Each structure stands twice: as structure tokens, then as C-alpha cells.
Structure 1
């Protein structure tokens, strides 16, 4: 589980760097993003920084005896996933590319990270 969480963190780190370095390219090429409103460099880069900080927290938290940090670092992805699930419900459960990107890029990584954090925290408490 630790390795899966670290892979997700690496993906978050790369995603955040992509948003920081090429915010307009990210905006234009991420399905569904342009549907949410006009392009805003500041906002895209702010979210990119959140992804980077989250990735660092997950990487650090995935180390032995740091499960509380991992649990804390997994909170933003989980809240982000809840918000995107709510948006998907508002789109009448549309089954399209936007929903697929939401599932693969937001929902699965967020919930796997939270699950991994809870498992690691439980196992650390047993030691």
C-alpha cells in the first residue's frame, strides 16, 4: 500500500508542476476544466501549488512512523474528490470523458490515498 500511495504522490507532484509551468496548456487540455469558467492563471497555479504541497506531505507521510502526516496530507485530495463528485451529480451523472478523467484522475487516487493512510495509521498503532 505504501508504494501505491507513493506513486499517487509522484503523480500529484508531476500534475502540480504541469499546472505551474504550463497553466494555459493544462486548462485547455484537461477535459471539463474550460466548462467551469474562464482561464485564470493565478487560480491554476495556486491549485498546482496545492498539488505539490500535498504530494510532499504524502511522500513524507508514507515513510515509516509518519502515518498521521499521511492522513493529514490525504485530506485535501478527499475533499477535492467530494467536490468533484458533487459536480458530477450536478451534471446528472453524465458518463463521458469528463467523468472518466474525474474517476481516474481525482476519485481513485484520493480514496486510495486516504485508505492507505488509514491502513498505515492502524498498523503503526499496533506496533
Structure 2
């Protein structure tokens, strides 16, 4: 369970912010294990935030993390709306400009983290999940 117990996770199931932070931490760990170099967490611009920004190969990867409890009505990735996708496009352009990066491939992914009531979880990496 990546350094936390199911018991501790169960306590977080009723605290959406804490659950979201745990999901982002798990996503970060997964990306690192898959060879990504996470260069920013919760990167902010004046008009929004990107959960994780990573490099792998020649590309910059912008990652939206969605965390839910399994009995929730919707799947985590369903929360990635058209507005969120459009905002990610603007955020990516802003990030690239701010960091002096040009002519670099950009990819957009979703990491869906689903917790069961017993504190166990599943994590799904949805590669190239959207394109603004």
C-alpha cells in the first residue's frame, strides 16, 4: 500500500481534501515507478492548477488526478469536464512559456484512484486521456 495502512486510508475516506492529497501522492509514486520525472506538484497559474507535471523522454506530461470512493456515483475520470480540458490547454501553454520550453511534445493524462471502504485502492493510469 505504498507506505500507508488501510486503516489510515479508511480514516481519510470522509475527508475529500485529504483523500485527494493521498490520491495525488499515489499518482506521483506511480508515475515515478513508470519512469516519469515529476517536476511539479500542484503547479499554479493565475487561472488554475495542474496536479502533476512530469517529464519522460522528450515530452512534458500534464496529469490530472481524480480520486473517489468506490461507492461514489461517478467514475473519477468522469469529473474531467470540457472546461477542465480547455483549462489544461491554457495551463500547459502558460507552463511551457514560463519555463522557456518550445517545440516540445505535450501529453495529457488522467490518473484515476478509487478507494474501497476498507481502505484498499485501485489506480488506473489513463494515458493520452484528452487533448485540448
Same-fold call, TM > 0.5? Answer: no
Give the TM-score band, short-chain normalised. Answer: 0.3 to 0.5
Tell me the TM-score normalized by structure 1.
Answer: 0.34
| Structure (1 or 2) with the greater helix fraction | 1
| Structure (1 or 2) with the greater strand fraction | 2
Higher relative contact order (CA 8 A, sep 6+): 1
